[in-house]
Amino acid sequence: MHARHPTDPRVTAGVIALTAIALLIGGAFAGLLVEGAGDLSGAWAAFDPYLLRVVRFTLWQAALSTLLSVVPALFVARALSRHPRFFGRAFILQLFAVPLALPAIVAALGILALYGRAGYFAGLFSAVGGQGWPGIYGLSGILVAHVFFNLPLGVRLFLEALQTIQADQWRLASQLGMGPRPAFRLIEWPALRAALPGVAGLVFMLCITSFTIVLTLGGGPAATTLEVGIYQALRFDFDPARAVALTLLQIALTFIVVLALTRLGTNVVGDTNLPVAPRRYLSVKATEAWLNAALIVLALVFVAGPMAATVAAGLGADLGRLAGEATVRQATLTSAVLACLSALLSVVLSLALTMARRALALNRRAGPRTMLEHATDTGAGFVLVVPPIVIGAGWFLLLRHAGDVFAIAPVMVVTVNAVMAMPFALRAVRPAYDVGSERHERLCAQLGISGWTRLRLIDWPSLRRPLATAFAFAMALSLGDLGVIALFGSDSVQTLPYLLLARMGSYRTEDAAGLALLLGLVCLALVMAAHWMGREKNRDA
Amino acid sequence: MPDGAASRLERGASVRLDKVLFSYGEAPLVFDVDFAATKITAIMGPSGSGKSTLLNLVAGFETPRSGRVLIGGADVSVQPPSARPVSMVFQENNLFAHLPVEQNVGLGRSPSLRLTEADRTDIAEALLRTGLAGKEKRLPRELSGGERQRVALARVLVRDRPVLLLDEPFASLGPALRDDMLDLVAGVHAERGMTVLFVTHQPQDARRIGQNVVFLDNGAVAATGKADDFFTGAGPDAFRRYIGSGVGDAVSRDIARKRT
């Protein structure tokens, strides 16, 4: 056997990226283990009835949220698929993509502005109920927020599943004179049932690791999840032993769920690709049409409501004064800088992993895949198993002995969010790189184009757009994140979501609404830019 | 050997696969064959017989499991593709889609596109020779299929390596266009005298420019010889079976056209 050519620099880049990620996650685990081992009895004692209640509530709210999101989503998706020419259908689908881009804290504020104690509906609800409207806090608030996020997601995923049904089947159904009932049972339900476990699993996973919603809408010890419990143990009670116990439980829980999800073949990132108006061959009777329309409008109102409330409440705030405030300006600047750095890091990591994976796949040819290739491939997606709060908690515990924990806030925010955005960035970058490599690999090898020259001359021109897409998306995710900054934030390092939380906490609701509007709009603009750039690229190809 | 060949003898380099064993997951391929310097050798054989793999081994895109690849007598088995004295033209994807014609050609001279005045003159000359003058600034998508392969040939001229590998580069072109391209290759060969290894499915193509034929079957070299012998019925049985009876007419038609 001849010696291989010298190691591909792309593989080296991938190894460096993997090491960095492993260091970030490994460091967090080290912190947890050191803390747990140092106070074994304390960690053991933390498994008390309270902890059990927290676990039960975490699972209970996630199960309820999943049920309330997925079942209606099934029917709304079916209604939308029965009416490919429904008025404003494209707009509705676009609108249903917005919650994906919206930071959780912005949505939470929108929901409070609508259904809260002093919300727009408070007067109506009080009049109907005959007594003062208590506002939705606790379980009801959490459920409404989770359904707000996951109903549209479910609709889009189910609609995608319905669109995999071949047009021939519909032609056949209409020729055989199948009514809506048999058509549902024989054609639509099989497609939906195939997608159901994956969608339900994804929603369950998102609800189990939901932090911001539970923090802002959950009420007291009765409505606390593991993630919020970790945060409270570290920031308020300062009970590291309890934090370790909670974190280990959270990891075990997410690990089990993700394992089940991969068994089900779920698309863990949860984005969809929907054609605007597919051709269909079916006629819908008037009664069903009205029913479907009512269903769609109901879902629309439910999803659009909090968004509209965010805008209305935000415009009601004294935006001029807010813009002039030094704290707000400082937080905006901090957010922008940290999000940019985080997005940059995320994109660089993704590119390194993509290049390494491709180079390894090319080198091995028909042989079995090595561990390293697995790590650069599916391994990258598994960072989602480790919630940001968990990584934050680990480092928090590790570094509190080493000095000022809050001083490393910027580093934590940048790195953790970069790694969390990586699976999304990978999805934008990898296909473009692989297609380019498919075309150019042999040519580059023959002409001796490699290293930086290759990156500059060959890869960059075709990767510019997907990289920009990944950057914008990663930046939006990082900008809206409250998980890490909630742990590490302080008066000296504040991001916009952190400031928002602080203003909510001190009952300066108007300020919070104004900030939420700003944050929501920026994130929305970034995600729209990401989609637009992604589409432009496809047209060129 | 025709007269005038002596001056180009030092240009082309012989290619030798010395007991090369290669396996791509399935049945192993064994190549033990010589390609004469400065000649055009047509490599023919059924699908899956290993034609492209043979070229990839010479170019360095594949590494043999055992055995040696020699070019001009030197062992290049462990050299990376860019270090080998070889240019290869593929069936497609010979060009970088985002770079204009002249840069695609220029990459043949400098992989980082650092070009001197002399380089630019050579590039312009190569474009003129391949009939692409005036199309320097075009992007590959603004060219026809034939023109794109001309750009690849222009780069071969600029790269100026003693061995040229053609992996069915004209397979997707129409008959007339294909003949034009073959004549261009023959013309360039007459000027430069490089060794050409030419994979093709078309007997008429092999007949048109091929001097020698190497016939592959079942992952090994089944027969070698002069093109004239192969196409006048003196080839091995397996070759005749591969060509089939119908193609014999095409060959005679081809001869008729060539003579007129």
**Percent of chain B whose pLDDT exceeds 90:** 55
Closest-CA residue of B relative to A541 is B97
- Mean local confidence (pLDDT), A453-462: 88
- Mean local confidence (pLDDT), B75-91: 90
Q: Give residue B123's pLDDT.
A: 95
CA-to-CA distance for A475 and A469, rounded, in angstroms?
10
- Closest among B260, B199, B190, B195 to B12, alpha carbons compared: B195
A70: Cα separation from own chain's centroid: 17
**Burial, A37: exposed, middle or buried (Cβ in 10 Å; 0-12, 13-18, 19+)?**
exposed
pLDDT in tens, A369-384: 777 887 777 767 677 6
pLDDT over 90 (residue A414): yes
Asked if the Cβ–Cβ distance from B113 to A458 is below 8 Å, we say no
Among the ranges given (A156-170, B37-51, B170-184), the one the predictor scored with the smallest mean pLDDT: A156-170
Asked if the Cβ–Cβ distance from B107 to A1 is below 8 Å, we say no
Asked if the Cβ–Cβ distance from A461 to B98 is below 8 Å, we say yes
- Give the C-alpha distances (Å, rounded to integers) separating B122 from B8, B118, B141, B187: 20, 6, 24, 18
CA-to-CA distance for B17 and B43, rounded, in angstroms?
14
Question: What's the 3-state SS for A106-121?
Answer: HHHHHHHHHHCCCCCC
CA-to-CA distance for A382 and A371, rounded, in angstroms?
14
What is the phi/psi pair of residue A223, to 5°? -125, 65
- Closest among B200, B195, B202 to B168, alpha carbons compared: B200
Question: What's the 3-state SS for A243-311?
Answer: HHHHHHHHHHHHHHHHHHHHHHCCCCCCCCCCCCCCCCCCCCCHHHHHHHHHHHHHHHHHHHHHHHHHH
pLDDT over 70 (residue A323): yes
Count H helices and E strands in chain B, helices first: 9, 10
Which residue type, as a one-letter code, is found at position A97?
A: A
Asked if the Cβ–Cβ distance from B80 to A5 is below 8 Å, we say yes
SS3 A420: helix
CB A410 within 8 Å of CB A338 = yes
C-alpha neighbours within 13 Å on the C-beta side of residue A387: 31
Q: Give residue A271's pLDDT.
A: 54
pLDDT over 70 (residue A510): yes
Q: Give residue B8's pLDDT.
A: 36
pLDDT over 90 (residue A164): no
SS3 B39: coil
Residues of A in contact with B82 (CB under 8 A): 445-450
Of residues A44 and A462, more confidently modeled: A462
**pTM value surpassing 0.95:** no
Q: Is A440 on the interface with B (CB under 8 A)?
A: yes
Q: Give residue B2's pLDDT.
A: 41
**Is the CA virtual torsion A279, A285, A291, A297 positive or negative?**
positive
Probe site for chain A from B90, B107, B148, B159 (most A CB atoms < 10 A): B107
pLDDT in tens, B221-236: 998 988 888 888 777 7
Confidence of residue B62 (pLDDT cuts 50, 70, 90): confident
Going across the sheet that includes B195-199, the strands are B74-75, B66-71, B15-22, B29-35, B220-226, B212-217, B40-44, B195-199, B163-167, B86-89
Confidence of residue B43 (pLDDT cuts 50, 70, 90): very high
Q: Give residue A529's pLDDT.
A: 84
Closest-CA residue of B relative to A435 is B93
State the smallest CA–CA distance between residue B97 and chain A in angstroms. Answer: 9
- Out of A367, A442, A458, whose CB is closest to B96? A458
- Mean local confidence (pLDDT), A482-488: 87
**Burial, A236: exposed, middle or buried (Cβ in 10 Å; 0-12, 13-18, 19+)?**
exposed
CA-to-CA distance for B220 and A171, rounded, in angstroms?
52
- Give the C-alpha distances (Å, rounded to integers) separating A134 from A112, A119, A130: 12, 10, 12
State the smallest CA–CA distance between residue A16 and chain B in angstroms. Answer: 24
pLDDT over 50 (residue A461): yes
Q: Give residue B7's pLDDT.
A: 38
- Mean local confidence (pLDDT), B112-132: 93
- Mean local confidence (pLDDT), A500-524: 87
Q: Give residue A265's pLDDT.
A: 60
Asked if the Cβ–Cβ distance from A453 to B24 is below 8 Å, we say no
pLDDT over 70 (residue A2): no
**Burial, B22: exposed, middle or buried (Cβ in 10 Å; 0-12, 13-18, 19+)?**
buried
Q: Give residue A273's pLDDT.
A: 54
**Is the CA virtual torsion B199, B203, B207, B208 positive or negative?**
negative
Residues of B in contact with A445 (CB under 8 A): 60-61, 80-82
Q: Is A3 on the interface with B (CB under 8 A)?
A: yes
- Closest among A514, A527, A496 to A95, alpha carbons compared: A527
Q: Give residue A280's pLDDT.
A: 55
What is the phi/psi pair of residue B172, to 5°? -95, 10
Among all chains, which residue has been given the structure tokens 């140092």? A38
- Mean local confidence (pLDDT), A457-464: 88
Cβ burial B107-117 (10 Å sphere, 16+ → b, else e): bbbbbebebee
- Out of A365, A367, A446, whose CB is closest to B82? A446
Q: Give residue B258's pLDDT.
A: 40
Q: What is the mean pLDDT of chain A?
A: 83
State the smallest CA–CA distance between residue B3 and chain A in angstroms. Answer: 33
- Mean local confidence (pLDDT), A440-469: 88
pLDDT over 50 (residue A532): yes
Specify the DSSP class assigned to residue A7: P
Query: What is the count of residue pairs from A and B with beta carbons less than 8 Å apart?
Result: 71
Asked if the Cβ–Cβ distance from A443 to B93 is below 8 Å, we say yes
pLDDT over 80 (residue B52): yes
Asked if the Cβ–Cβ distance from B96 to A4 is below 8 Å, we say no
Q: Give residue A77's pLDDT.
A: 92
Of residues A130 and B168, more confidently modeled: B168
**Percent of chain A whose pLDDT exceeds 90:** 18
CA-to-CA distance for A105 and A149, rounded, in angstroms?
12
Asked if the Cβ–Cβ distance from A443 to B80 is below 8 Å, we say no
CB A482 within 8 Å of CB A498 = yes
Residues of A in contact with B114 (CB under 8 A): none
pLDDT in tens, A306-320: 999 999 888 888 888
pLDDT over 80 (residue B10): no
Q: How far apart are the first and last CA of chain A?
A: 40
Among the ranges given (A267-271, A425-429, B88-92, B104-108), the one the predictor scored with the smallest mean pLDDT: A267-271
